[in-house]
Amino acid sequence: MKKSTKIILITLIVISILFVGMSCFIGTQVFAASTQLVTCEDTANVEDGFWNKYNMEYESFCNTYTIEEIDITSTFDSHIIPADYIYASGFEGNKDNKTVILVHGLGGNRYTNYPIAEMFLEKGYNIITYDQRSSNENTAQYTTFGYWEKYDLIDYINYVSEQALKQEIGIWGTSFGGATAGLAMENKEIENKIDFLILDCPISEMKWMIEEEMRKMDIGLPISYMTFCGNIINKMKLGFYYEDANVCNTIRDSQIPILIINSQVDKITPQFMGQDIYDSISCEENKSIWTVEDSQHTEMWLDHNEEYREKVERLLSKSSASK
């Protein structure tokens, strides 16, 4: 072999090693950034002014309803999933009642669902609102845009179905929690235990969200390259690709009544996400979508409260009629 050929081969090998090494480093950084988006410390309690913003008196709420702190052990990776079980008036201590499980968004916790909980409680539903992974008192490692989070939800769906045999069970999930709820529907045995699903500003796919976060960082490297690197590391460490966390794929065959709520000006989970989920659902008669023109992310409850309640009431009526 000529000396020049050897030099070229050695150079190519060195460049390849450097490229693989750099790709592994970048992938590890993307993985670390995308799987620890919040911490328990970040999400403890609620922000200052939260109760005023939602025009809610926290102490009055706690005095009105019986709230029981519960927890179950994850069947997925054995962490504790803390929750509040809130009883509707007249059902104090009785879990054999129609129930809604509330799934909060990224940066929230089980308390930030209390305003929505009050609406369902007034309609006679018991409530479970729990802390998602790496939020408040749930110390599970990694945030995965709903992919691993779905297992906590599945555990609580099974919990409720055991407590409330033949009772109506619904899921309300917002933003990140909407992805959790949608991805859980891939398990058809679980979906068969659910009577309705409400997705408020849902995330439709993990890949787009990660690309958007990297786009905001403006590092200078191609987004597609960084996504590829992160995707490989994610598969190696957690066992799934970004593409696996796509709600459109898991919900397409769903047969339960589903309401999707979103806004045209939402910059966090853009309007197309809810629309894509809606379009993917094959059962035309059981799906509905409500899109507002002016609300920021998850603020339809504040801006269009009366209409929000009407849309939910319509879904509940449809669900109850089919029970």
pLDDT tens readout for residues 79-111: 999 999 999 999 999 999 999 999 999 999 999
In a shared domain, residues 24 and 147: no
Range of the domain at 2: 1-34+206-242
Q: Give me the CATH number covering residue 51.
A: 3.40.50.1820
| DSSP codes, 153-181 | HHHHHHHHHHHSTT--EEEEEETHHHHHH
The answer, as to whether pTM is greater than 0.75, is yes
Residue 214 pLDDT: 86
User: In the prediction, which pLDDT does 48 show?
Assistant: 82
Q: Are 169 and 197 in contact (CB under 8 A)?
A: no
d(CA 197, CA 118): 17
- The mean per-residue pLDDT over the stretch 129-141 comes to 97
Regarding whether 300 and 317 lie in a shared domain, the answer is yes
Stretch 305-318: mean pLDDT, rounded? 95
Q: Which helix (H) or strand (E) holds 210?
A: helix 206-217
Indicate whether 3 and 79 sit together in one domain.
no
Residues 199 and 256 grouped into a single domain: yes
Are 68 and 143 found together in one domain?
yes
Q: Do 249 and 264 have their domain in common?
A: yes
State phi, psi for 265 to the nearest 5 degrees: -105, 10
Q: Which of 242, 269, 296 is the last residue of a domain?
A: 242
Query: What digits encode the pLDDT tens for the residues 265-291?
Result: 999 999 999 999 999 999 999 999 999
pLDDT tens digits, 210-236: 999 888 877 788 999 999 999 999 999
Same domain, 121 and 263: yes
Is residue 138 located within the same domain as residue 16? no
Residue 220's pLDDT is: 80
Give the pairing type, strands 258-263 and 287-292: parallel
| Amino acid occupying residue 229 | C
**161 burial level (CB within 10 Å; 0-12, 13-18, 19+):** middle
Rounded CA-CA distance 85/96 in Å is 12
189 and 72 in a single domain? The answer is yes
* Nearest CA among 247, 253, 157 for reference residue 201: 247
Alpha-carbon separation of residue 305 from 119, 222, 294 (angstroms): 11, 42, 13
**Tokens describing residue 300:** 């339809």
User: Same structural domain for residues 222 and 138?
Assistant: no
Q: Give the pair of three-digit tokens for residue 159.
A: 């919990």
The encoded tokens of residue 62 equal 């706690």
Q: Is-contact 145 179, C-beta < 8 A?
A: yes
What total number of domains does the chain contain?
2
Residues 131 and 174 in one domain: yes
Quick one: DSSP state of residue 88? P
**Are residues 173 and 110 in contact, defined by beta-carbon separation less than 8 angstroms?**
no
Please state, in angstroms and rounded to a whole number, the distance separating the CA atoms of residues 29 and 15.
21
Q: For 282, phi and psi rounded to 5 degrees?
A: -80, -25
The residue ranking higher by pLDDT, 12 or 29, is 29
Shared domain check, 176 and 56: yes
Residue 17 pLDDT: 63
Residue found under tokens 């007249």? 90
